[in-house]
Amino acid sequence: MADTEHFVRDDVRAFLAMLEQVGSKGVEEVGHIEGRAQMRTMSQLAEAEPASLAVIRDLSCPGPGGDIPLRLYDTQASRGPGPVVMFIHGGGFVIGDLEVYHALCTEISHQLDLPVVSVDYRLAPEHPFPAAPDDCEAAARWIATSPAELGLQVTGLVITGDSAGGNLTIVTTNQLMNDPAAVPVLVQAPIYPVADDVSKHPSLASFFEGFFLTGAAMAWFTQQYAGDPADPRVTPMVGDCSNTPPTVICTAGLDPLRDSGRAYAAHLIQQGTEVAYFEFPGIIHGFITLRKAVPSGQEDLAAFLGAIRAKLARIAA
């Protein structure tokens, strides 16, 4: 059971107790195929209902390993030129897909009143590193060109994603800052990201098990992904992050990855990047896609998205 020395919200405690009663096996025990099915089932049970939007449309863009499936979300059936949000899903580079993150993408579009493009990048172990960052970079560059298939005049990108997708958010942003796309990255917004060597942080030991994401699952994901930790496209903080656009970061207080997000936020602040950092206490990794089971996370998500909205308003002013 969750360690009593940590502050745990009531709805989080109830969710963790339910998981303990069910006693399901970890992804490292069941493997990637069953792990993907488990994540879809969890999403169906624990995630909030999708918001109603004017546009939800599947499309694809060319990628280095074939076409990359995408899903476009928009609150408006037609709109003038403006920013587009690119969303990169989590799941340890191994699990997760457009469906698991469908409701969240509708919520992001609804709260920001912006188009969102969700990217279904290739997954490990079938497609280990660098398939995921290659696909995300290709998708970002394609969106930036305002392709006819998108039906939007794109003036800038907001890149966001959670967990492994938070890592890919940082990696994709760095690639586009070093070698610019057709339009700039206006804001990057990683959600409980992997930004450096997670094993060196106290949060890994503190929340190794009993808080949804386990240390054993993380080690297994890392093994499947098979990236070189010395490569900045695997571990962004080993590279140059000095050219980073305005950034919004959030972490969860009960997350083994918490300290990695903290370290990245501090690193950016020390280099003079404009950063809004949220650490939401008493909540677990994955909360943004558990909003039915952990309803208190909805307010945290709203605060995070509000900071993105504020950064965009300042840039536009």
**Model confidence at 299: pLDDT above 90:** yes
Count of domains for the chain: 1
In the prediction, which pLDDT does 248 show?
98
**Model confidence at 3: pLDDT above 90:** no
Q: CB 80: neighbour CB atoms within 10 A?
A: 8
199: in domain: yes
Global model pTM greater than 0.95: yes
2: in domain: no
1: in domain: no
In the prediction, which pLDDT does 4 show?
52
pLDDT tens digits, one per residue of 245-285: 999 999 999 999 999 999 999 999 999 999 999 999 999 99
Which positions are annotated as active-site residues?
163, 255, 285
pLDDT tens digits, one per residue of 121-152: 999 999 999 999 999 999 999 999 999 999 99
Three-state SS at 316: helix
Instruction: Confirm if 144 and 182 have CB atoms less than 8 A apart.
Output: yes
- Residue 278 has, within 13 A of its CA and on its CB side, a CA count of 23
38, 39, 96, 98: which is closest to 68 by C-alpha? 98
252: its two tokens: 């969860």
Write out the residue range of the structural domain in which residue 58 sits. Answer: 10-316
CATH number of the domain within which 296 lies: 3.40.50.1820
* Phi and psi at residue 224, to the nearest 5°: -65, -40
pLDDT tens digits, one per residue of 178-219: 999 999 999 999 999 999 999 999 999 999 999 999 999 999
**Taken in order 262, 266, 272, 277, is the CA torsion positive or negative?**
positive
In the prediction, which pLDDT does 1 show?
47
